[in-house]
Chains A and B, each alone.
Chain A
Amino acid sequence: MIITNIYLYLFLTITVFCFGALGLIFNRKNILIIIMSIELMLLSVNINFVLFSIYLDDIIGQLFVLFILTIAATESAIGLAILSAYNKSRNNIVIDKIIKIKG
């Protein structure tokens, strides 16, 4: 399958990435949403890799996708673990209540 117009897809991935990033910034309440936004950004990156792998007819991109999938899975696992540990000690996961990291 040869994709003639890559820009449409690129637009999709960039939009998803930007939504992920904006979700990081504008989310003021929930840590879960942060993790979800990060997942979203990683997903957009993955799609990008796949896209270019097909566009350039090169397998390396898909290889990277597999790696990133693994990393994302471990990362979200660790993140959720941190989250549950935090919740255990502080009894909430609201971002505004995290007040010990001031410069």
Chain B
Amino acid sequence: MYLLLVFLPLFSSITAGLFGRKIGPKGSSFLTVLCLLITCLISCFLFIEVALNNSSVYINLIKWIDCDLFQVDWGFLFDTLTVSMCFVVTFVSFLVHLYSTEYMSHDPHLPRFMSYLSLFTFFMLILVTADNFVQMFVGWEGVGLCSYLLINFWFTRIQANKAALKAMIVNRIGDFGLALGIFTIFVSFKAVDYATVFSLVPLLSKKSFFFFNLSFNVLDIIGIFLFIGAMGKSAQLGLHTWLPDAMEGPTPVSALIHAATMVTAGVFLLARCSCIYEYTPNVLIFITFLGSSTAFFAATVGLVQNDLKRVIAYSTCSQLGYMVFACGLSNYNVGVFHLINHAFFKALLFLSAGSVIHAVFDEQDMRKMGGLKKLVPFTYSMIVIGSLALAGFPFLTGFYSKDVILEVAYGKYTNISHYSYILGTLGAFLTAFYSTRLIYLTFLSKPNGFKNIICYAYDSSYRIIFALGCLSIPSIFAGYFTKDMIIGLGSDYWGNSIFILPENMNLIDAEFIDYLYKILPVCLSMLGLISAYILYTFFIDLLFIFKRSYYIKYLFTFLNKKWFFDKVYNEYITQPLLLFSYSTSYKLIDRGIIEIFGPMGLSNLTFLKSKTFSKLQTNFLYNYSLLFLITITLLLIYNLLGPCLSVYLNYKIYFVIILTLMFI
């Protein structure tokens, strides 16, 4: 059953992909959805058996690489962290599959799409169930590949192609870091499987490692490299630029990749490597800094985006920042808790957005929607649930995890944790604000779309409704029901899968922080909700004047252009790199130096020299006889004077003379 969980999506992917022509779109949809349903049910059983009954399962399948010290097995480790992720992934994936069968039903390439979705699920399951770093890397690269295939699903669109390339390449930067991290782990631990590495971590916590001739703590190096990998996948500030662009794919893809599965891989990695990170306080500070900056940055950018999916994408980026800084503050269980909750309501939001987009004939611009409340009431209620959960409305899912994150951030009492608390709280306000803005512009404002579109807007059919309904239930209740189990005090839910040093553990401290700081995030969220609603309902003219005013216009552009991250990257990194690769490495080195000193230059030189020599034969007999005479004279001179010349002349001078003759 444990292996079935992993390989059932592979089976459905292969069948739908290779035999999609035979079984048709209906058949392949049915097959993939059925397989995913079974996988989802299996993961429920696994969740009960492993997490609730607290009995980890370890399966060692076969040897993969067995080379001296380097041993990699195909092994599967099912502990609490794994099954929690498995449940989230398979649940969301199943609903996304079901949703896609209707959402993509008019697409001619439906079998291919379903195949990619299943393949994606398979690689994600490989990623979370691996028992060693190399196998995890297989899943890690696999989800990157599948994200490329899925974003690029409509391969005739140039924007989709570019976005897919960007996603793949930016991810690859992170993957390079992860690979370096795994290499470092192998060099220092002489093993890559979790069991060995994690049990050896305290032993190596003082060991230093030479990197660029500088001495570093080996765990710091590993931690930084692994975090660079997590940065790429989890779209942290610096490597985040791919995530909003990846909205070019179909909406179910966004829901699957950019809400529930792929981007959570980075947080999963942090939680999985908690044993390593606990011994690297400096790296944790860096992680906290980057996570909280991402949370704030993405929230500000999400505030002014006009694309429905882009707003949600930036909120994903922002929420990932929350998770990462929760991990950076050594509260990995809180981070994973937020990950699980976030997967539910973000998938709900994305799928609802897809439903809206479906209703208005693939129009994604929020400014051209409006007034959809009466037309698509079910989607409206779903998106309200999702947005309230995202904004941390009390007693919805997002509230339980986000508030705990901010509490532990304040309860740590260090500079960096207060920095993250402030940015996180501001981010909570902004999150609430843009969620309301999204709802208002899409549903509540006066209709702004074309009449012929608005007239035909209606809620989608039962498969989309079912998927949204299924997701709305955990979006409301998951936080409340699982809070005590997952992050409750003294809960042994996590078993050995997450390790927190006793001196870093501050969940109890967080319970006893000042009441003001506990209530502040919620108050700010509510303020964000209410103020956005009031501003957009009654003072929309004022907002317009505000936006058009001199300084605010610049701020607006600054935020709308994503803090000019893309511009800076393009102009100061990408373009110079392209220029370098063209003018320096291609024109100067490849076509220049190597060709001139290599084949082309050599043949040219031979040709030129032979031309020079053949020019000696000038067509005139007397010149021939002169050459005769000169040559005989020279030979005679050498013959006569050679022995005595060698006494006075060094042999090196002959080289000089011969070389000089070459240049004549």
Listed in ascending order, the chain A residues whose CB lies under 8 Å from chain B are 21, 24-28, 34, 95-96, 98-99, 101-103
| A101: min CB distance to chain B, Å | 6
| In the assembled complex, B653 has its CB within 8 A of some CB on chain A | no
Contact in complex: A101, B629 (CB < 8 Å)? no
**Mask for B615-641, Cβ within 8 A of A = 1, else 0?**
111111110011001000000000000
A36 to chain B, nearest CB (A): 14
B426-450 CB mask vs A (1 if < 8 Å, else 0) is 0000000000000000000000000
What's the least CB distance linking B544 to chain A, in Å? Answer: 87
Name the residue on B nearest A22 (C-beta): B629
Whether the Cβ atoms of B621 and A98 lie closer than 8 Å is yes
Binding site for A on B (CB under 8 A): 614-622, 625-626, 629
Residues of A within 8 A of B619 (CB): 98-99, 101-103
Q: Which 6 A-B pairs have the closest CB atoms?
A: A103-B617, A102-B619, A103-B614, A24-B625, A25-B626, A25-B625
A-B contact pairs, 7 of them (CB 8 A): A34-B621, A95-B621, A98-B621, A102-B617, A103-B615, A103-B616, A103-B619
Once bound together, how far apart are the Cα atoms of A102 and B615, in whole Å?
8
Q: Which chain B residue shows the least CB distance to A18? A: B629
Nearest CB on B from A13, distance (A): 17
Instruction: Please report the C-alpha to C-alpha distance between residue A33 and residue B615 in the assembled complex, in whole angstroms.
Output: 26
Distance in angstroms between the alpha carbons of A55 and B618 in the assembled complex = 43
Closest to A29 in B: B622
B629 touches which of A25, A28, A102, A103 (Cβ 8 Å): A25
Q: Which of B616, B618, B622 has the most CB of A within 10 A?
A: B622
- Bound-state CA distance A26–B618 (Å) is 15
Residues of chain B within 8 A of A98, CB atoms compared? 619-621
Measured between alpha carbons, how far is A98 from B621 in the docked complex, in Å? Answer: 8
Which residues does chain B contribute within 8 Å of A34, judged by CB atoms? Answer: 621
Residue ID in chain B nearest A31 by CB atoms: B621
Residues of B close to A99: CB separation below 8 A: 619
Say how far A78's CB is from chain B's closest CB, in angstroms. 17
Q: Kindly list chain A residues whose C-beta atoms are within 8 Å of the C-beta of B621.
A: 34, 95, 98, 101
Q: Measured between C-beta atoms, what is the minimum distance from B522 to chain A in Å?
A: 97
Measured between C-beta atoms, what is the minimum distance from B609 to chain A in Å? 14
CA distance A31 to B632 in the complex (A): 23
Q: How far is the CA of A101 from the CA of B616 in the complex (A)?
A: 12
- Contact between A95 and B622 (Cβ–Cβ < 8 Å)? yes
Chain A residue nearest in CB terms to B621: A95
Q: How far is the CB of A102 from chain B (nearest CB, A)?
A: 4
Which of B618, B621, B626: most chain A CB closer than 10 A? B621
- Determine the distance from Cα of A28 to Cα of B626 in the docked complex, in whole angstroms: 12
A27 to B622, CA, bound (A): 7
| Cα A68 to Cα B76 with chains together (Å) | 102
Chain B residues lying within 8 Å of A26, measured Cβ to Cβ, are 622
Q: A25 contacts which chain B residues (CB < 8 A)?
A: 622, 625-626, 629
* Chain B residue at minimum C-beta to C-beta distance from A100: B619
Shortest B617–chain A CB gap in Å is 3
Question: Would A21 and B629 be within 8 Å (CB), given that A101-B617, A102-B617, A103-B617 are in contact?
Answer: yes
Compute how far the CA of A27 lies from the CA of B614 in the bound complex, rounded to whole angstroms: 23
Q: B618 CB to closest chain A CB, in angstroms? A: 7
Bound Cα distance A26, B623 (Å): 9
Considering the complex, give the chain B residue whose CB is closest to the CB of A27.
Answer: B622
Nearest chain-A residue to B618 (Cβ)?
Answer: A102
How far, in angstroms, from A98 to B618 measured CA to CA in the complex? 11
The residues of A that contact B617 with a CB separation of less than 8 Å are 101-103
